Amino acid sequence: MSARISVKVHSRAKRTCCAGKLGGAFKINVSAPAESGRANEACTAYLGELFGVPQAAVRIRMGLTNRLKVIEIDGITQAAAEEKLSK
- What is the per-residue pLDDT across 22-34, written as a single tens digit (0 to 9) for each? 899 999 999 999 9
Architecture of domain 2-86: 2-Layer Sandwich (3.30)
- pLDDT given for residue 87 in this prediction: 79
Q: What is the mean pLDDT of each run of 10 residues along the chain (87 residues)?
A: 95 95 94 94 96 96 96 96 91
Type of residue at 65: T
How many CB atoms lie under 10 A from the CB of residue 85?
19
Q: CA angle, 45 as apex, 41 and 47 as ends, to 5°?
A: 120
